[in-house]
């Protein structure tokens, strides 16, 4: 004991005297509910508040209070004392329960709590003996278990709802020694472990354990040595403590545990917040000493010499000692900061660390102690041990605090160790990763670098910032390590960046891309495709084909071809990587279109293919491929001129062949991508026309114009190159109205030759044949058009004019004869009308027109010279049955003509579609449709009336 260090971790809070209201000798005490209860030999129980101020007292027993206990769950007080009976009989030992929440008035100035139950401790079955120990266990309310130890080695137990006297009594026998001094029960203690209840019992000879959870409690002897004084306690870990003169012993359910050799007779034992409290008789001084032991750290937290102690208890977070002279001493624990300051002043950092850890201080407080200890060691230049302390502060101490110290001291090994621990706990930042990797590279410790980066436990990606690690390893030329980090972390772009830009391992890069998932491979090819195309164009195209078609994956997907293709990357997404490599792009797109026929991006693909096919030259060299240096000098000037010319001529021939082949493919694409059943092609028509014009691709331009029915633009193309044969052949094909052509093309063709300024008699004669056949232009227009060409003679059109004049003469003669005929018919009709208006008509028919019988009266005669019996006419007597159908047909024709005159669209459509629009207009005038006018409603009515009369 004397080897233990002593510290003043406790201090005296206050001292004083027991209130004068307590007159008797204090025999027992208890605490709880923020109060202290004292029992005296005069039978009173007194309650003291904080600061040991007297609250109130009451007469618990008439003679004396032997034991008492304040319950924790309910505000009950359980007492055991003596009560006077009849004068001839000794006092009876009774157990009482007081409800401290209920007060009964006893006069004007004092009051006492309600006594809810009184039980006799001793009965016929439980003979009387001296009570040596007392203990109450609060089970599930309202149940209590009260155990009373006697000097004869017996323990009386009372269990149940004692307030209602629903109890059972039973006895436990500890020892049955003939000498009562050797069998007295000197201490009791409950141990509750879940549903298991156990009772420790001490006699001078034994330490026993009763299993109370069994139907009949069983006893187990833990030790053959006990204690003769009442100095027992229970720890917060349910260990039973016994004080003997030579040592203090700890007992658990399986027997004796550790013991601590503290000499002196132990008068009081207690347990307070992990500290062992002990009042013992110091044999050296002959006085009582009160010590507070910190058993974990093997130190005495407080020591004080006191007079004879009567009672010891704990309440309000303090330790309270009541002495025999009724003086009091209240001792409280200092705060952690004060205790640590005391230790720091003595440089007792190890003790401080043990103290904060044993008292379960928060991690931040522990880290602060470790930091100070580390600073102390650092100041003594004990760097290794200082770093060991700093490592324990990780997570609470700012890492830069430690890093700065060891950077200044140039202790790179210690710094590396600290950074490794920082990464292991996942608290490292990007800068910490950079620093650690720099430490490895500076030390050239490849083994540790491998362990850090290529660890097989698969947690490397959680221990450090991946991008930082890759960047640092690349900068230090540890490319393999950087690739290992990138591959493990799934940073494919970094892996490929190192392979391609640093190592130039293009084959390996292509294999790596092939092993990736579809989406990841697409992203990496977009980023690094330019480098791959430059060095491995064929292999890169193969990978792109797998990405954009992926035929092997189609059965796995379980989807239709169209649905799966729509999920694949589009070739358009990869066009940017072919900027300087159009040949590779052409190859890629040709392969793709030959394999995939229903791509959603086929319009864009066809547009790109057309641009490649129609381009004059596909060689767009990049800067790296240029043969001209910065000074403008030809890098190949050392070659012979003749050899250069031969190579140039051969290259020109090959280029021309390739150009013609590409144009052939371009025309094929234009035609195949615009089938007859589609209204719009599978490419951009405007872009295709622009490309054809820019690259002078006449065949494609003619096809597009013809498909778009821009026939005039078609012949304009032939006119530009003065291709007369092609021009006439085109007009033959496109100028036939019966086949959907435009006959006006012949007129444009005639105009072209009329303005040509050279002899083209043969062509003009052929053109006039078709103009004459389809009657496209009047002869006068033909003459005016051809008169502009001075190289043409009249003999070119002589035969045409003669035929036209003869034809016109025939038409004039036919029109003259028709006109004379119509004039004669009109004159006859006028005479007939005049005769009907002015002369009487004599009806001489003798037979009915309908029944051919002799006509008799009544008869009806019509102006058309038909006569009928009235009975043959029936109800219709206003129309001639013979002439009415013809008359109605005329009226219906007139009505239809009048109705058609109200539809101008029909009129203009007939004019437009007719070869001779004037004849259509003349026909409308001849039928009286568009020449008929009306000046108003009244005039229209009169006209109708007159017309009706005339018709009739």
Q: What is the pLDDT of residue 706?
A: 75
Quick check: 463 pLDDT over 70? no
Return the percent helix, strand and coil in the chain, to nearest 5.
Answer: 45, 20, 30
Residues 789 and 852 reside in one and the same domain: no
613 CA to centre of own chain: 45
90 token code pair:
């000794």
Quick check: 575 pLDDT over 50? yes
Placement of tokens 């050899």 in the chain: 643
Condensed to tens digits (0 to 9), the pLDDT of residues 832-871 reads: 888 888 888 787 788 888 888 888 888 888 888 888 888 8
Residues 424 and 340 reside in one and the same domain: yes
Task: Look at the chain and report how many structural domains it folds into.
Answer: 3
In a domain, 65, yes or no: no
Instruction: Give the lowest-confidence range in 153-157, 168-172, 214-218, 670-674.
Output: 670-674
Quick check: 45 pLDDT over 80? yes
The side-by-side arrangement of strands in the sheet containing 318-323 is 10-17, 327-333, 318-323, 309-315
Domain-ending residue, one of 876, 897, 918: 897
Helix or strand run (H / E) with residue 598: none
Mean pLDDT on 106-123: 79
Residues 410 and 362 reside in one and the same domain: yes
Beta bridge partners of 118: 96
- Report the 3 state secondary structure along 170-209: EEEECCCCCCHHHHCCCEEEEEEECCEEEEEEECCCCEEE
Q: Calculate the CA dihedral of residues 291, 294, 298, 299 and round it to 10 degrees.
A: -50
Quick check: 432 pLDDT over 70? yes
Domain-ending residue, one of 391, 408, 428: 428
Instruction: Give the lowest-confidence range in 187-201, 240-254, 527-541, 598-612.
Output: 527-541
In a domain, 412, yes or no: yes
Confidence of residue 409 (pLDDT cuts 50, 70, 90): low
Q: What is the pLDDT of residue 876?
A: 65
At residue 35, φ and ψ (nearest 5 deg) are -140, 165
Axis-axis angle for helices 744-754, 724-734 (nearest 10): 160
| CB neighbour list of residue 583: distance below 8 Å, 6 or more residues apart | 537, 618
Instruction: Give the lowest-confidence range in 91-95, 461-465, 663-667, 893-897.
Output: 461-465
* 3-class DSSP assignment, residue 372: helix
DSSP conformation class of 551: G
Nearest C-alpha neighbor of 57 from the set 23, 92, 91: 23
Confidence of residue 636 (pLDDT cuts 50, 70, 90): very low
Beta bridge partners of 270: 277
Domain-ending residue, one of 382, 409, 428: 428
Quick check: 759 pLDDT over 70? yes
Helix or strand run (H / E) with residue 579: none
Beta bridge partners of 207: 202, 223
Q: What is the pLDDT of residue 108?
A: 43
> What CATH number corresponds to the domain at position 391?
1.25.40
**CA pair distance 642, 651, nearest whole angstrom:** 14
Mean pLDDT on 893-900: 77
Question: What is the DSSP pairing of strand 5-6 with strand 299-306?
Answer: parallel
Quick check: 754 pLDDT over 50? yes
> What CATH number corresponds to the domain at position 888?
3.30.40
Confidence of residue 643 (pLDDT cuts 50, 70, 90): low
Asked whether 849 and 870 are in contact (CB, 8 A), the reply is: no
In a domain, 702, yes or no: no
**Which comes out higher in pLDDT, residue 43 or 506?**
43
Residues 801 and 746 reside in one and the same domain: yes
Distances (CA, A) of 777 to 485, 653, 719, 770: 85, 50, 21, 10
Q: Please tell me which of 508-522, 562-576, 623-637, 888-902 the model is most confident about, judged by mean pLDDT.
A: 888-902
The side-by-side arrangement of strands in the sheet containing 255-260 is 232-234, 240-243, 248-252, 255-260
In a domain, 781, yes or no: yes
Confidence of residue 560 (pLDDT cuts 50, 70, 90): very low
- Report the 3 state secondary structure along 673-736: CCCCCCCCCCCCHHHHHHHHHHCCCHHHHHHHHHHCCCHHHHHHHHHHHCCHHHHHHHHHHHCC
Mean pLDDT on 534-544: 78
Confidence of residue 612 (pLDDT cuts 50, 70, 90): confident
Confidence of residue 208 (pLDDT cuts 50, 70, 90): very high
344 token code pair:
């720091």
Cis bond before residue 858 (omega within 30° of 0) = yes
Q: Which domain holds residue 404?
A: 335-428
In a domain, 23, yes or no: no
Distances (CA, A) of 779 to 514, 772, 773: 76, 9, 13
Residues 798 and 870 reside in one and the same domain: no
Q: What is the pLDDT of residue 209?
A: 93
Quick check: 623 pLDDT over 60? no
Asked whether 278 and 286 are in contact (CB, 8 A), the reply is: no
Cis bond before residue 769 (omega within 30° of 0) = no
Query: How much is the mean pLDDT over the chain?
Result: 80
Q: Over the range 583-609, which residues count as b (16 or more CB within 10 Å of their CB) and which as e?
A: ebbbbbbebbbeebeebebbbbbbbbb
In a domain, 922, yes or no: no
Q: What is the pLDDT of residue 885?
A: 85
> How much of the chain exceeds pLDDT 70, in percent?
86
Asked whether 169 and 125 are in contact (CB, 8 A), the reply is: yes
**CA pair distance 494, 236, nearest whole angstrom:** 59
Residues 736 and 800 reside in one and the same domain: yes
Residues 341 and 393 reside in one and the same domain: yes
Residues 339 and 424 reside in one and the same domain: yes
In a domain, 792, yes or no: yes
* 3-class DSSP assignment, residue 743: coil
Distances (CA, A) of 623 to 532, 557, 577, 628: 16, 44, 15, 9
DSSP line for 274-316: TEEEEEEEETTTTEEEEEEEETTTTEEEEEEEES-EEEEEEET
Beta bridge partners of 148: 134, 156
Q: Please tell me which of 134-138, 689-693, 698-702 the model is most confident about, judged by mean pLDDT.
A: 134-138
In a domain, 161, yes or no: no
Long-range contacts of 935-941 (CB under 8 A, 24+ apart): none
Confidence of residue 233 (pLDDT cuts 50, 70, 90): very high
At residue 369, φ and ψ (nearest 5 deg) are -65, -45
Quick check: 753 pLDDT over 70? yes
Beta bridge partners of 44: 59
> Given CA atoms 84, 90, 91, 94 in this order, what sign does their dihedral have?
negative
| CB neighbour list of residue 695: distance below 8 Å, 6 or more residues apart | 614, 615, 616
């Amino acid at each position: 004991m004397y080897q233990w260090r002593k510290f003043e971790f406790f201090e005296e809070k206050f001292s004083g005297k027991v209130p004068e209201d307590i007159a008797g000798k204090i025999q027992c005490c208890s605490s709880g509910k923020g109060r202290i209860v004292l029992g005296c030999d005069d039978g009173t129980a007194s309650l003291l508040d904080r600061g040991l101020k007297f609250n109130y007292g009451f007469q618990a027993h008439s003679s004396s209070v032997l034991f008492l206990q304040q319950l924790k769950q309910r505000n009950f007080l359980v007492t055991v004392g003596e009560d006077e009976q009849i004068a001839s009989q000794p006092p009876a030992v009774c157990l009482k329960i007081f409800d401290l929440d209920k007060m009964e008035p006893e006069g004007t100035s004092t009051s006492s709590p309600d006594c809810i139950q009184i039980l006799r401790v001793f009965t016929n079955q439980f003979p009387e003996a001296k009570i040596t120990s007392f203990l109450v266990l609060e089970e599930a309310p309202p149940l209590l278990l009260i155990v009373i130890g006697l000097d004869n080695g017996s323990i009386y137990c009372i269990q149940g709802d004692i307030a209602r006297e629903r109890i059972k009594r039973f006895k436990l026998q500890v020892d049955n020694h003939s000498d009562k001094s050797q069998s007295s029960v000197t201490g009791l203690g409950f141990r509750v472990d879940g549903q298991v209840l156990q009772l420790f019992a001490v006699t001078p000879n034994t330490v026993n354990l009763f299993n109370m959870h069994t139907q009949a409690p069983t006893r187990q002897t833990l030790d053959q040595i006990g204690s003769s004084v009442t100095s027992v306690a229970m720890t917060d870990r349910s260990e039973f403590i016994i004080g003997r003169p030579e040592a203090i012993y700890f007992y658990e359910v399986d027997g004796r545990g550790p013991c601590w050799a503290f000499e002196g007779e132990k008068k009081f034992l207690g347990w307070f917040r992990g500290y062992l409290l002990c009042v013992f008789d110091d044999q050296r001084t002959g006085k009582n000493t009160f010590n507070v032991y910190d058993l974990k750290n093997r130190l005495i937290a407080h020591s004080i010499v006191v007079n004879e102690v009567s009672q010891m208890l704990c309440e309000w977070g303090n330790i309270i000692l009541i002495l025999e002279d009724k003086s009091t001493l209240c001792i409280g624990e200092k705060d952690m900061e004060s205790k640590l300051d005391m230790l720091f002043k003595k440089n007792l950092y190890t003790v401080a660390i043990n103290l904060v850890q044993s008292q379960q201080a928060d991690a931040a407080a522990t880290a602060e102690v470790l930091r100070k200890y580390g600073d102390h060691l650092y100041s003594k230049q004990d760097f290794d041990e200082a770093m060991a302390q700093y490592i324990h502060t990780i997570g609470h101490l700012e890492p830069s605090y430690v890093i700065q110290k060891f950077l200044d001291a140039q202790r790179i090994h210690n710094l590396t160790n600290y950074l490794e621990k920082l990464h292991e706990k996942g608290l490292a930042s990007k800068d910490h990763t950079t620093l650690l990797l720099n430490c490895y590279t500076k030390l050239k410790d490849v083994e540790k670098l491998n362990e850090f980066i290529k660890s097989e436990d698969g947690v490397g990606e959680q221990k450090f910032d991946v991008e930082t690690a890759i960047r640092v390893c690349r900068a230090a030329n540890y490319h393999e390590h950087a690739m290992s980090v990138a591959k493990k972390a799934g940073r494919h772009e970094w892996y490929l960046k190192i392979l391609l830009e640093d190592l130039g391992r293009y084959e390996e890069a292509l294999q790596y891309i092939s092993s990736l998932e579809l989406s990841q491979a697409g992203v990496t090819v977009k980023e690094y495709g330019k480098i791959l195309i430059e060095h491995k164009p064929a292999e890169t195209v193969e990978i792109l084909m797998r990405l954009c078609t992926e035929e092997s994956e189609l059965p796995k997907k379980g989807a239709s071809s169209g649905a799966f293709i729509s999920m694949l990357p589009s070739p358009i997404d990869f066009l940017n990587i072919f900027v300087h490599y159009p040949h590779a792009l052409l190859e890629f797109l040709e392969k793709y279109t030959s394999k995939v026929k229903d791509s959603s991006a086929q319009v864009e693909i066809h547009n790109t293919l057309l641009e490649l096919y129609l381009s004059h030259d596909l060689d767009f060299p990049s800067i790296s491929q240029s043969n001209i240096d910065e000074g403008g000098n030809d890098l190949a000037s050392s070659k012979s001129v003749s050899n250069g010319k031969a190579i140039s001529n051969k290259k020109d021939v090959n280029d021309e062949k390739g150009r013609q082949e590409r144009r052939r493919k371009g025309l094929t694409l234009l035609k195949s991508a615009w089938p007859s059943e589609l209204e719009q092609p599978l490419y951009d028509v405007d872009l295709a026309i622009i490309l054809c014009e820019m690259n002078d691709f006449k065949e494609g331009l003619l096809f597009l114009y013809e498909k778009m029915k821009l026939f005039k633009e078609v012949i304009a193309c032939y006119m530009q190159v003065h291709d007369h044969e092609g021009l006439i052949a085109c007009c033959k094909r496109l100028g036939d109205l019966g086949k959907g052509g435009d006959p006006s093309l012949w007129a444009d063709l005639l105009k072209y030759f009329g303005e040509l300024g050279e002899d083209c008699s043969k062509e003009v004669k052929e053109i006039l044949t078709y103009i004459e056949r389809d009657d496209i232009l009047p002869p006068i227009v033909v003459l005016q058009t051809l008169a502009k060409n001075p190289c043409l003679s009249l003999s070119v059109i002589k035969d045409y004019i003669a035929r036209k004049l003869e034809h016109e003469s025939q038409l004039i003669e036919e029109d003259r004869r028709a006109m004379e005929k119509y004039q004669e018919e009109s004159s006859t009709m006028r005479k007939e009308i005049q005769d009907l208006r002015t002369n009487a008509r004599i009806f001489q028919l003798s037979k009915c027109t309908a029944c051919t019988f002799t006509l008799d009266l009544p008869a009806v005669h019509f102006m058309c010279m038909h006569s009928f019996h009235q009975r043959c006419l029936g109800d219709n007597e206003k129309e001639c049955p013979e002439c009415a159908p013809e008359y109605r047909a005329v009226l219906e024709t007139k009505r239809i003509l009048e109705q058609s005159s109200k539809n101008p669209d029909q009129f203009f459509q007939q004019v437009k579609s007719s070869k001779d629009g004037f004849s259509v207009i003349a026909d409308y005038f001849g039928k009286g449709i568009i020449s008929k006018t009306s000046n108003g409603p009244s005039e229209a009515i009169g006209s109708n009336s007159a017309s009706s009369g005339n018709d009739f």
